[in-house]
Structure 1
């Protein structure tokens, strides 16, 4: 650490001392100089603590002021360290082996025994009583849920502060803070708050969420990001065998399979919220597995978990993820039921896993209150409406938030709104934001219309040679009730102009009644799928990519006109009636569509004309969408099954159609999460003509 960075950290620690009164950071060693991983580090006379990482390092922060730090681990003497200042950096702590341990020659530094281990005895009690915890014990339930999402740039150093990227935006570094889990400095860049009323029925196995309010830091186009993050941080249950996030399944330290995955040590016992609890520290038995390290507190009568924190170990391999930290708090409802009151999830995204590398924190805080039970509601109450704009929830007043937040924003969080409001008014930031929007969406935004997709501007194939394409769409906002798209393209080898135009309008938001139509004259690769749709602006890779793999000389010229009526009578179940007319001919001498017209095989035709009527049924249970306009964004892509059934009827002699035929197409896709092995997809595609 260079001198400037060290001074900067000291400044940032001091600057934020109002919101966090005590901060400690350092490393724990034994007398030989070896680090002590997974040691317990706690502020004395509190339940606020952490465990050292694989390198014996720790960082701990608390809102209150504490004057003593307790460091302990089985096999070592417990050490109490006076804290003479509010901020204590670069602490080097040395533990000594306890006399009793030396006599018994038992040091729990590696694997712990499964037999005669009081921690595992307590864990077995947790297993026996886990069904007596939470809202699952009641027939019906409801509660209020407050959610806070935040994104931060982390590892703020002199290089970043002096970067040209932030010219004209230097004031934002006045809002830098220190993360209370990792100890890294960070700069908040986005915050979103939402308030929900949640209803559930365990008999009907139904759940319903009603959005009461939503507020974010002022950026446009953030609804998709918010919904995506909420889907990534889906509900997880520590009592289940696996905890899933980022398409990975981690073994839960409280699960019945945890005994073969983790080492458990009974570390402490104390009163937590007037309930006597045991503290159990856990850490992985083996490296290179999807596991956590951390600790949890267990009540001694109900055997329910009172508090737990879980932190991924350094050798966990998740793309772009350096670290994940989870913390949950529970409260006592009665002698047999604990309810979750707080759920905190933080992920550290980065291009590499070096400690000094810069990344992004994505943090989600959930608070729960106002639990009610056994208030029975009819089954119709839980039916999710197809149309649910909830526009009023996005325009709540400051008075509403002051009265309904389950916890007040601290000074740092209030500062985020102030900082981001100022940031959105700077020209430099708006330039960066526009560039990021183009990269993410593929469109360049103008007033009322967008140019794009920019990635299709240039392409190449053997028929057209170099291909240029210019297109656009109407766009006034994510929830537009209608949209028109069009493009024109030119191939410099075949010297032909191509085009496409389509339009769609949402007539009835409640039933999602949509009428659409259009025409396209272009080149296309036929036969890539049994279940090709009639998307009028759909383009195969052969006509829209700059780089192609394989032959692209067997393309067809297509003239496609379509008209369809679509509706969604039930949530995620759509019915579509369509009609289309298609003319096909070879786009290259290297490819032929020749076929005999008569039974005697004397007349040959090289063009195909088709008039087709179709009925398409699509069911996507579990799909989550964002928005309520004519187009909606799917936020949990590849996380739900899809069933597609298409019955088509070809009619001869209508618009010079060449054939009578009946065609049935079926497609099924089922995502599968196989324990700790990862994600797989089961697909089935069939057709008959």
Structure 2
């Protein structure tokens, strides 16, 4: 999941509430130390909260209360009279219990794992663990209403009077107070969607049909909406781990929960005629991916009736100050509880300081009109309709009045009219355009985008300083056709380069696309083992500003392609294409020369090759947005990828030089390993049948840059290993701070541990060795005696944006210029 979402939100910022009681403040001990996880409850009620890591709290209610009770293990409970219905700066001091056993009990509040009635209840939940209620039936269907909202928060005079909002001051006329944090906020965006969901548990199929979609002011927010839906993906509180923002949080209902949480039995009462127990829970340790909150559980079915989860401020997660979740369930019968409401709120911000400004991202999902055991048949689920029905995005007022499962409040209604007004304000348009450029990399004009601006400058030893300008046609994100191109100039070789490509979506339902293009440029071949015919793509190895040693092993390439691709079912793609390329060395210090006669007396320095390829790719779990010829992937790196390619070289066609066959298989799989982080594994194999020169062989991808590039070998130089048959693997595990969080002082830095291992084994035939006419640069050599391998250890999340990896070679130390150790780094925004 990428932090592009954060940029989209923060850069696109581009009333008094109805609650009758609002209180906030801090809880401390007699020494002035903050007490985290104190239970704060309005007297004679079940409405309450738990203090944060720093002892802060906020709670509000629609009812009027005169007292609030503070209680915590190891301290005397305290009841405080409320002099006013709104009190934000309370300072509560709790006194130590006289019979407190130890400082551990006093300051950390650890509850016993034995003879604890709350844990006895937890064990009952495990014994009666249930899936979502709909899984209990053969078939199911229900209506789903989803509301997504963004709010600008921490509104103060400095923000209102800032230059960024000059000309837009009127938007601050309507503000409210958040019920979780107590901060003033201003709604700035809202999207509503109504769907009908059908499922068949026997077929293991589910289908969601969008009935209506509406958003405030902007007609082109599909990407933003899709990013939010992906971040707030479906989850089941009964699972051991809940995944949000590419992180796995330990569920308070987890079978490992007793090792991560303290549990306290706090209350019991009737809810919807069912006797329920209230259990309060909070983390045993700081800096871990855990929650604080409470849940209500039925005393006979041991099913959850209500649950609240709030991420602690010390959790090792970036750019987010708060995560708050509420779920409600209704009783269908004595054994089935169905979810009726799911509310998820995040506070996105650049830092976790209390006074920092940010954006609330809120998603509320309501479920109703459940029906069961109505069989639809497999044809219903397999039938593909046009994915983009324009009328769905143009529903009238009557439709929304009849289909909303929750009425909009006054502030939400105001958003629609406010943003309609903002569209006419020049200051807002300017701010929105800046955010759009940062998010997409393109400067928008009418029907044309200039960019990507981040590719403007580059450097290599052949071109020297390289300047690139380009653009694309753009009339809307669902364009059925697109033309894009660029031109570049190298100040050392004094040559212009260019690339131009076009594609046309012939059938939106099956994504039948025809594409073609031509590129004349300088490129680093062998930047990846798997073949690519991307006309406009360019590897980082070809233009990195900082490298390890010189790189003159670049190639002049003239590539022309024509392809037809089809997606017969979701995320399965078939591509049939043809290409013609000429390759020659771009430097006199590098050679692609090969012998053209059996006597090995005549050579050629350029390769002309026609190739026909058929490829199949399958990416289960991939999520995209957009219905035009281009789509945006919104969960990049979070889904499996399987790729197979068969290529046929055709000699003699358009003066093509070689006959050959090539097969390649690539498989990449990310794994969420519970609370131990994320592991990503890649396996790749390939073989070339026939005699081919260096330019058509498989080069093991070295990395002479100082950047960490997944899939490359950071201690190999370009062309250090060349093969015609190979097998490689790469395994990387990010522990997400699992071990650093247990080290005092270090745990406050929120660093993340990363380890990886790479390996490749391959061969090159004697015939292909003899075909090569180069005697020095490069010398063809394959890792055939033993598998080449290396390992790396790294530290991520340095200042939230940097990662540093140290690499160690495992063997082949005798290779010319072999590097046994190296350091690479990378920059990025990750949660």
Q: Assess if the C-alpha contact under 8 Å between 1:73 and 1:267 holds in 2.
A: no
Residue in structure 1 matched with residue 789 of structure 2 by the alignment: none
Q: Tell me, which stretches of 5 or more residues in structure 1 are unaligned?
A: 1-14
Going from structure 1 to structure 2, the CA distance change for 1:438 and 1:133 (only over 3 Å counts) comes to: closer
* RMSD of aligned alpha carbons: 2.3
How many residues of Structure 1 are paired with residues of Structure 2 in the alignment? 672
- Does 1:482 find its partner at 2:481? yes
Between the aligned partners of 1:32 and 1:657, the Cα distance in structure 2 is 84
2:387 counterpart SS class = coil
Deviations 1:243-280 (A, max 9, x none): 11111111111121111211111111122333322111
More deviation in 621-630 or 347-356?
347-356
Residue in structure 2 matched with residue 188 of structure 1 by the alignment: 187
Q: CA deviation at 1:538?
A: 1.7
Residue in structure 1 matched with residue 647 of structure 2 by the alignment: 648
Q: Assess if the C-alpha contact under 8 Å between 2:35 and 2:107 holds in 1.
A: no
After TM superposition, the structure 1 = structure 2 runs for residues 460-609 of structure 1, keeping only pairs within 5 Å, are 460-543=459-542, 551-609=550-608
Residue in structure 2 matched with residue 62 of structure 1 by the alignment: 61
Q: Assess if the C-alpha contact under 8 Å between 1:386 and 1:511 holds in 2.
A: no
Q: Assess if the C-alpha contact under 8 Å between 1:175 and 1:416 holds in 2.
A: no
Between the aligned partners of 1:294 and 1:242, the Cα distance in structure 2 is 16
Residue in structure 1 matched with residue 238 of structure 2 by the alignment: 239
Q: CA deviation at 1:86?
A: 3.1
Going from structure 1 to structure 2, the CA distance change for 1:549 and 1:453 (only over 3 Å counts) comes to: farther
2:401 counterpart SS class = helix
Q: CA deviation at 1:240?
A: 0.9
Residue in structure 1 matched with residue 796 of structure 2 by the alignment: none
- Does 1:16 find its partner at 2:12? no
Between the aligned partners of 2:325 and 2:245, the Cα distance in structure 1 is 14
Q: CA deviation at 1:331?
A: 1.5
Residue in structure 1 matched with residue 803 of structure 2 by the alignment: none
- Does 1:636 find its partner at 2:640? no
Q: CA deviation at 1:655?
A: 0.9
Q: CA deviation at 1:582?
A: 0.3
Residue in structure 2 matched with residue 258 of structure 1 by the alignment: 257
Q: CA deviation at 1:638?
A: 1.2
More deviation in 264-273 or 544-553?
544-553
Q: Tell me, which stretches of 5 or more residues in structure 2 are unaligned?
A: 1-14, 689-831
Residue in structure 2 matched with residue 47 of structure 1 by the alignment: 46
More deviation in 528-537 or 416-425?
416-425
Residue in structure 1 matched with residue 458 of structure 2 by the alignment: 459
More deviation in 670-679 or 172-181?
172-181
Residue in structure 2 matched with residue 425 of structure 1 by the alignment: 424
After TM superposition, the structure 1 = structure 2 runs for residues 43-192 of structure 1, keeping only pairs within 5 Å, are 43-74=42-73, 79-95=78-94, 110-131=109-130, 134-192=133-191
Between the aligned partners of 1:338 and 1:268, the Cα distance in structure 2 is 21
Going from structure 1 to structure 2, the CA distance change for 1:101 and 1:549 (only over 3 Å counts) comes to: closer
More deviation in 674-683 or 40-49?
40-49
Residue in structure 1 matched with residue 807 of structure 2 by the alignment: none
Q: CA deviation at 1:203?
A: 2.0
Between the aligned partners of 1:386 and 1:403, the Cα distance in structure 2 is 25
Residue in structure 1 matched with residue 610 of structure 2 by the alignment: 611
Deviations 1:161-208 (A, max 9, x none): 221111111112222322211122223222111111111222222211
Residue in structure 2 matched with residue 412 of structure 1 by the alignment: 411
Going from structure 1 to structure 2, the CA distance change for 1:128 and 1:210 (only over 3 Å counts) comes to: same
Between the aligned partners of 1:420 and 1:392, the Cα distance in structure 2 is 22
1:334 counterpart SS class = coil
Between the aligned partners of 1:37 and 1:527, the Cα distance in structure 2 is 54
Deviations 1:498-528 (A, max 9, x none): 1111111111222211111111111111111
- Does 1:343 find its partner at 2:342? yes
Residue in structure 1 matched with residue 332 of structure 2 by the alignment: 333
Q: Assess if the C-alpha contact under 8 Å between 1:74 and 1:267 holds in 2.
A: no
Between the aligned partners of 1:524 and 1:54, the Cα distance in structure 2 is 52
Q: Assess if the C-alpha contact under 8 Å between 1:542 and 1:552 holds in 2.
A: no
Q: Assess if the C-alpha contact under 8 Å between 2:527 and 2:541 holds in 1.
A: no
Going from structure 1 to structure 2, the CA distance change for 1:106 and 1:569 (only over 3 Å counts) comes to: closer
Q: CA deviation at 1:542?
A: 4.7
Deviations 1:300-334 (A, max 9, x none): 22211111111112221112222221111111111
Between the aligned partners of 2:58 and 2:656, the Cα distance in structure 1 is 74
More deviation in 425-434 or 205-214?
205-214
Q: CA deviation at 1:295?
A: 1.0
Q: Assess if the C-alpha contact under 8 Å between 1:595 and 1:606 holds in 2.
A: yes
Going from structure 1 to structure 2, the CA distance change for 1:98 and 1:548 (only over 3 Å counts) comes to: closer
Residue in structure 2 matched with residue 5 of structure 1 by the alignment: none
Residue in structure 1 matched with residue 320 of structure 2 by the alignment: 321
Between the aligned partners of 2:33 and 2:608, the Cα distance in structure 1 is 79
Q: Assess if the C-alpha contact under 8 Å between 1:469 and 1:488 holds in 2.
A: yes
Going from structure 1 to structure 2, the CA distance change for 1:217 and 1:410 (only over 3 Å counts) comes to: same
TM-score, structure 2 normalization: 0.77
After TM superposition, the structure 1 = structure 2 runs for residues 350-429 of structure 1, keeping only pairs within 5 Å, are 350-383=349-382, 385=384, 387-429=386-428
Q: Assess if the C-alpha contact under 8 Å between 1:384 and 1:571 holds in 2.
A: no
Q: Assess if the C-alpha contact under 8 Å between 1:305 and 1:330 holds in 2.
A: yes
Q: Assess if the C-alpha contact under 8 Å between 2:132 and 2:339 holds in 1.
A: no
Residue in structure 2 matched with residue 668 of structure 1 by the alignment: 667
Going from structure 1 to structure 2, the CA distance change for 1:113 and 1:489 (only over 3 Å counts) comes to: same
Going from structure 1 to structure 2, the CA distance change for 1:549 and 1:614 (only over 3 Å counts) comes to: same
Q: Assess if the C-alpha contact under 8 Å between 1:247 and 1:678 holds in 2.
A: no
Between the aligned partners of 1:551 and 1:331, the Cα distance in structure 2 is 67
Q: Assess if the C-alpha contact under 8 Å between 2:76 and 2:94 holds in 1.
A: yes
Residue in structure 1 matched with residue 706 of structure 2 by the alignment: none
Residue in structure 2 matched with residue 221 of structure 1 by the alignment: 220
Between the aligned partners of 1:548 and 1:391, the Cα distance in structure 2 is 50
More deviation in 264-273 or 557-566?
264-273
Between the aligned partners of 2:121 and 2:142, the Cα distance in structure 1 is 30
Q: CA deviation at 1:411?
A: 1.2
Going from structure 1 to structure 2, the CA distance change for 1:75 and 1:677 (only over 3 Å counts) comes to: closer
More deviation in 93-102 or 403-412?
93-102
Residue in structure 2 matched with residue 441 of structure 1 by the alignment: 440
Between the aligned partners of 1:29 and 1:498, the Cα distance in structure 2 is 67
